Amino acid sequence: GENVEQHPSTLSVQEGDSAVIKCTYSDSASNYFPWYKQELGKGPQLIIDIRSNVGEKKDQRIAVTLNKTAKHFSLHITETQPEDSAVYFCAPNQGGKLIFGQGTELSVKP
């Protein structure tokens, strides 16, 4: 079945700290693992993605790691800034579509 779980649901960090959000999926056939950032009043924005043949990908302060055996992947944000405050969604593909997690509300306190 299509089951995506994302943790934590809320995360509060101090500016400059790191934040980690974890996503667990159920379909072993999933081969594409994106993370989206959604700010208030806007649509989800793709911030980083990884494919199943890669274990880790980094883009400046953002990184994604994938553990296909355990069926989970994580978003890592280093040196957080207030503008990183938003809701983050994982959305692994399953059954020919993106299945979204419930979201993590990240708050970065100055």
Partner 1 sequence: KAGVTQTPRYLIKTRGQQVTLSCSPISGHRSVSWYQQTPGQGLQFLFEYFSETQRNKGNFPGRFSGRQFSNSRSEMNVSTLELGDSALYLCASSPEGQGAIAFFGQGTRLTVV
Name the residues that contact partner 1, by CB under 8 A.
Answer: 32, 34, 36, 41-46, 49, 89, 91, 93-103
Instruction: Give 18 or 45: the residue with its C-beta nearer to partner 1.
Output: 45
Q: What is the spatial distance between Cα 73 and Cα 32, in angstroms, rounded to a whole number?
A: 11
Coil/strand/helix, residue 82? helix
Q: What is the spatial distance between Cα 27 and Cα 91, in angstroms, rounded to a whole number?
A: 12
Q: What is the spatial distance between Cα 50 and Cα 70, in angstroms, rounded to a whole number?
A: 16
Least CB distance to partner 1 at residue 11 (A): 17
Instruction: Give 34 or 74: the residue with its C-beta nearer to partner 1.
Output: 34
Least CB distance to partner 1 at residue 14 (A): 28
Instruction: Give 37 or 72: the residue with its C-beta nearer to partner 1.
Output: 37
Instruction: Give 100 or 107: the residue with its C-beta nearer to partner 1.
Output: 100
Looking at residue 83, the DSSP 8-state letter turns out to be G
Least CB distance to partner 1 at residue 108 (A): 22
Q: Which of 21, 94, 17 is nearest to 52 (CA)?
A: 94
